[in-house]
Each structure stands twice: as structure tokens, then as C-alpha cells.
Structure 1
Amino acid sequence: MPAKLIRSRAHNVAIVFTFSAFAYVVTGNAAAANVPLPDGCEMAGKSKPAATPSAAVEPVFPPVQIQVRTPIHPTVLPSAGRNYLIYELHLQNFTTEPMTLRGIEILDADQPTASPVADLKEAQLSASLRQVTIGDDAGNIRRLGVGQSAVAFMCLAFEDKVPVPSRLRHRVLFDKTVADGPVIETHTTPLQVLGRPLVGTNWTPGNSPSLHSHHRMGLWVVDGDARISRRYAIDWKKYDINGKTYAGDARDVHAYYAYGQKVLAVADGKVISARDGFPDNVPKTEAAFELARPVTLETIGGNQIVIDVGNGQFAAYYHLQPGSVRVKTGDHVRRGQLLARIGNSGDARWPHLHFQVTDKADVLASEGLPQLFDSYRMKAANQAWETRTGEYPMGDVVIDFGPDIRDK
């Protein structure tokens, strides 16, 4: 299939991809100042020839009965001048004895004798690992009992000048053996360059990927499949210069800076789902949290809009303000169009916009996909504002999407 080009001419951003050999180009961005790595991310480097020949892992029969799989292969994701790979390794012990993990080596699959691009030791592995089934030693997170499963939540970060391998292989180290996983691709998902979902400044990309994010760690079994629909989801919250999200009564949704803010279409597309009529929750405080309606698979997103933005991808907006949804199922929308306003409906503690891109039009029965925003200003800590183009914002930063020039 010939290469397809998604380009934002105004901001000099180009994303180039093919379905047989994915390549990407992001122009005009230098590394951002003082943006720390998300919790759980490891710096990765270029593979180099080993100083001494690597000891070959001799094939054995039967093969080591450890399953190593990656349900959704990652795609290189630029953010603040680095390139990230965010994905999961599902591990399951099919042997007849318990196995203790000692490390994971991440290898460039096209340079099998080179040194690893990253190497997770025991402490790093313990931090990123989550047990799925209960083993015979629940106190040791790295011990896989017979039949037990675990998921390693992987995040690799490459500095902007360091090439990212097009294919990776994982070598999982145990006490007495080694299990090699299959080759995975690193340019799997066509990256959408999206417009801004919001207007104005002082927005934070809350719960973006890290080991502290319930989005990133939110592995759910829905319709029989274990999926992470919120892998790249962002909870957009608005703060003042003092780091407060509201002024006045914390139990009044109208006191929150995010409440009632305009929500925009990030791309042209067709509305797959539009729901309104769910009431706002009373915001959570130390005293209490009052849900307007019990949380179910039907109510979790509250008032919501899901748009088909092409390439098998769906942009979803959740927790919208009651009575604010301005589109209906089947409508065609244009990028930048006013869709609704931020509320506190569904499974929301405080007013914010939950935004995500997925491979299906469902809040949980889908896989979360990476995406880029064409342009925004960003600052970290006490640094100056920087204009970022064709990136995905994450971490402890402040985002400015610019004013509402249409004033609708």
C-alpha cells in the first residue's frame, strides 16, 4: 500500500506512514526543558555491538513454557522532544513449577547480537509488574506460580536524536532459564494529528501514561477480552496559578474552573454516539462523594460524544455537562466545531474532560490508541512557555490551547 501523509501545513508537522514499513517525521521540535520522565518509564538507547560475543541461548525441547505476548504493539509517540514506546507484556507460566522473574532485556530485533536497548532489573521490574492471578507466594510480585499470569507495563523513552528500532524482541530472565518473546513492531498505529479539544490556558494532562495513572493501569475484561481502552487517555483539568481547581464551595460544580468550558471537535468525522441527560455528580471532598447515578458500563462515561475520525479510530469525550451536547448520533462534524461543555457526569469526581482515542466506539471494550495534537504551548515547573507541534502532552506540565477566536 502506498505511503499516506497526514500534514498540518500551518504548524510544519508531517506524519508519514506505510502499512508495511512505518516511518515518521516530526519537524520543528527540540527537546523540552525540565520535563521529567513519567513514573515507570525507562530511558532506552541505541543498540551497540556487544563488547564480547553474546552467549547464545541454545534452543531446548520442549521450549520453555512461558508465554510472552504483547496484545497491542506500540507506536513511536513523540512528547516533549522524546520518543516513547508504551505497551504491555503479558506473561503466563505454563510450566510445572513456580518461576521467579529476574529481569527483562529489550532487544533490537534487527540486531540480535547487539546490547539491549533497555534492561529492566529486579527493582524496575517489580515496580512495573502487576499480578493477574493469585500465585502461591503473593508477597513476591516477581514470582509466577504454576499457571499464574502477570502483566509488565512497559514504557521506553528515547531522546530525540536516538533512533527507535523498528522491531523489538524481549528476553525474559528467570532463575534457571530464559524465555524469548516474539518480535513486535514499533510503528503499528497510524498516528492522527488532531486539533485542540479545548480552548484557553492552564490545562493539565492528568492521568496520562505512568505507573501512577489509573488510565494506564486500567486493564479491564469486557466481552471476554482484557483490554486497556484508556492507555493514552487524558483527564483535562484546569488550574489557577496557585494550583487550585476551584474557587469557593468545593461541592459546587460551578466553582470549578473546568466546569462549563467549551469542548471542540478534534477532527472532521461522523458522530457515532451522543448522549445527554445524565446529571452532574456532587464533587468529591474529604467529607463525601455523591454519585448522581450508580456507575455501570452504560453510565460510566456520563454525557458523552464519540466521533469516527477515520483509519478505524474513534475520538471520545466523556463527563460532559448536562444539556450541553450540541450534536446527535449520525451528525457530521468539522474540526474546531463546538460540541459540548465540560461537566461532572458519569464516573467523575471533579469536573474535567476525559478524552481518549480508541479502536472501537466503546468506553471500555476497546484498545486505547496514541494520537498527536497539532499545536499547543506548554511549560513545565517554572520554565518559559514553549510551542510544541505534532506531539502528545503528558507529565506534570501546563498546556495552553489558545483563545476561542470564534467566541461561540
Structure 2
Amino acid sequence: MLRHDTTRREPVTMSIELALPFAGEWIVRNSPADRVPSHGTTRFASANAIDFVPVGRDQRTAPITWASLLRPQAPEDFPGFGRAIVAPVAGEVVADHDGEPDHAAYRGLPSLGYALTQGRRAAAGWPALAGNHVMIRCDGGVVVMCHLQRDSVAVAVGEPVVTGQHVARCGNSGNSTEPHVHVQAIDRLPVEAAQAVPMTFGGRLPRNGEVVGA
């Protein structure tokens, strides 16, 4: 049986070295290289979380049009929706979930209304924010990947994985305004009792607006 350690700990200073959890080009959003907490809150051990948004050959997400500014968009409109997500580290899968729907994307005016409902999602707890997700226990902590595509998770709890192994696809589930993958590392389970663990990718931490991958 997996036991959760809920004792109080000192802040984590050691970082986990990760590979990028995808192929192709992605743009960095909400990076702890620019501010900590990166998402404006320390709740759910998210202080060092980072968002990667897939882009097309023009290094942009779905084109912004008058229609997209006025009404929600289907996630299928975005070039990275369904793009493969791979394990950024070797370890053991300790949690997986992929039953949540991929909801509409919200930009422009629709994003304002969606923002007003964020408090409700936060009150519902971490699973409502994470949507479909995979957690991998590794040396140094647990790596979490969120907002995955419904029915795309290709690994199961207890399964060992290697770096670069296919685990899921990019989706728009949970607290997400457009298809992307949210990555964070924590020191233990459950998330509600965890502390954030710093991460680096290829020995460094990319900054907001930087395009990474190939």
C-alpha cells in the first residue's frame, strides 16, 4: 500500500533534471525562470510549475480571428492538440487519469468569463485543476503532467517507464484555456500535502516566450 507522508518538511532546494516531454516546437508559458510562484500561487505545490504550449511551423498556436475573440474554439483547431507526450524522466507511474473531457479553448472575450470560474475549480480540488494527468515517481520526487487528452493515457499505475517513452497526448482538460501540457515536480504524494521541487530541462530552465523542442 502506498503511504502518504504528511509530516511538515523544510522547503526543497535540490532540482530534478528532466528531458522535454514532447517532440516538435513548443512555447514556454508561466515559467519559474521568470517568477516564483510561476502560476501566482503556491497551492498544490505549483510554485515551480511550467506550461508548454504546442505551436505550428509558424511558431504560433491557432490563428486569432474575430471569431476566436468572440466565442470559444474547439481544441481540434489548435495544431498541438493530440500531439504525443513522452516521459521526461525514468521511473514508476504512481497515478494516471484520463476520463475528463477536452473542453473548448477560451481566448479573447471568452477567456474573461472562464477566468471567473477558476475559483470554483480550485475549490473542487487539485483533480479539477489537473484534468487528465500522469504522475511518475523518480529519484528526487514525483513528476506530474496535466491537461492531457481524454482516453490518451498509454501507461498504468505500477508500470516502469523510461525517458522518452510515449505516455499520453496533449489535451485541454482541467483548468486550461488552450491545449498545452503543465509540468510540475513535487516531493511526495498526495499533491495537497506536497512541496514543489525545482526542475531543469537539459541543465537549464527556459524562460517565458522561449520556443523549445525540435
- TM-score interval, normalised by the smaller of the two chains: 0.7 to 0.9
SS of equivalent to 2:24: coil
Is the CA contact 2:16–2:197 (under 8 Å) kept in the aligned structure 1? no
Query: Bigger CA drift: 192-201 or 315-324?
Result: 192-201
SS of equivalent to 1:198: coil
Q: In the alignment, residue 200 of structure 1 is paired with which amino acid?
A: G
1:194 pairs with 9, 15, 18, which one?
Answer: 18
Structure 1: give runs of 5+ residues left out of the alignment: 1-69, 74-187, 221-227, 375-389, 403-408
CA distance in 1, matches of 2:42, 2:18: 26
Instruction: Give TM-score scaled by structure 1 length.
Output: 0.43
Q: Relative to 1, partners in 2 of residues 1:316 and 1:244: Cα closer, same or farther, differing over 3 Å?
A: same
Residue 215 of structure 1 and its aligned partner are, at CA, apart by: 3.3
Instruction: Select the structure that is richer in helix.
Output: 2
Structure 2: give runs of 5+ residues left out of the alignment: 1-8
Task: Tell me whether 1:282 sits opposite 2:104 in the alignment.
Answer: yes
SS of equivalent to 1:339: strand
Corresponding position of 1:237: 53
1:184-222 deviations in whole A, cap 9, x for unaligned? xxxx41x33222211012x122101234x76353033xx
Residue 241 of structure 1 and its aligned partner are, at CA, apart by: 6.3
Question: Whose radius of gyration is greater, 1 or 2?
Answer: 1
Corresponding position of 1:218: 41
CA distance in 2, matches of 1:217, 1:303: 22
Residue 274 of structure 1 and its aligned partner are, at CA, apart by: 0.5
SS of equivalent to 2:45: coil
Residue 72 of structure 1 and its aligned partner are, at CA, apart by: 1.6
CA distance in 2, matches of 1:231, 1:289: 22
Residue 363 of structure 1 and its aligned partner are, at CA, apart by: 4.3
CA distance in 1, matches of 2:135, 2:77: 27
Write the mapping of 1:316-355 to structure 2, written as runs, cut at 5 A: 316-355=144-183
CA distance in 1, matches of 2:129, 2:192: 9
1:164-189 deviations in whole A, cap 9, x for unaligned? xxxxxxxxxxxxxxxxxxxxxxxx41
Task: Tell me whether 1:399 sits opposite 2:212 in the alignment.
Answer: yes
SS of equivalent to 2:193: coil
CA distance in 2, matches of 1:240, 1:363: 33
Residue 239 of structure 1 and its aligned partner are, at CA, apart by: 3.1
Is the CA contact 1:207–1:214 (under 8 Å) kept in the aligned structure 2? no
Residue 368 of structure 1 and its aligned partner are, at CA, apart by: 1.4
SS of equivalent to 2:76: helix
1:67-92 deviations in whole A, cap 9, x for unaligned? xxx9526xxxxxxxxxxxxxxxxxxx
Q: In the alignment, residue 136 of structure 2 is paired with which amino acid?
A: I
1:372 pairs with 189, 195, 200, which one?
Answer: 200
Corresponding position of 1:157: none
Q: In the alignment, residue 20 of structure 2 is paired with which amino acid?
A: R
CA distance in 2, matches of 1:240, 1:262: 14
CA distance in 1, matches of 2:135, 2:189: 6
Task: Tell me whether 1:271 sits opposite 2:89 in the alignment.
Answer: no
**Identity between Structure 1 and Structure 2 (%):** 27
CA distance in 2, matches of 1:242, 1:260: 18
Is the CA contact 1:272–1:361 (under 8 Å) kept in the aligned structure 2? no
CA distance in 2, matches of 1:217, 1:362: 21
Corresponding position of 1:140: none
1:283-317 deviations in whole A, cap 9, x for unaligned? 113145498xx722132211110000123x01100
Q: Relative to 1, partners in 2 of residues 1:362 and 1:319: Cα closer, same or farther, differing over 3 Å?
A: farther
CA distance in 2, matches of 1:244, 1:332: 35
Q: Relative to 1, partners in 2 of residues 1:195 and 1:218: Cα closer, same or farther, differing over 3 Å?
A: same
Corresponding position of 2:3: none
CA distance in 2, matches of 1:365, 1:346: 20
Residue 243 of structure 1 and its aligned partner are, at CA, apart by: 5.9
CA distance in 2, matches of 1:206, 1:362: 25
Is the CA contact 2:37–2:47 (under 8 Å) kept in the aligned structure 1? no
Q: CA RMSD in A?
A: 2.6
SS of equivalent to 1:394: coil
CA distance in 2, matches of 1:214, 1:259: 27
CA distance in 1, matches of 2:10, 2:90: 29
Query: Bigger CA drift: 359-368 or 297-306?
Result: 359-368
Write the mapping of 1:146-157 to structure 2, written as runs, cut at 5 A: none
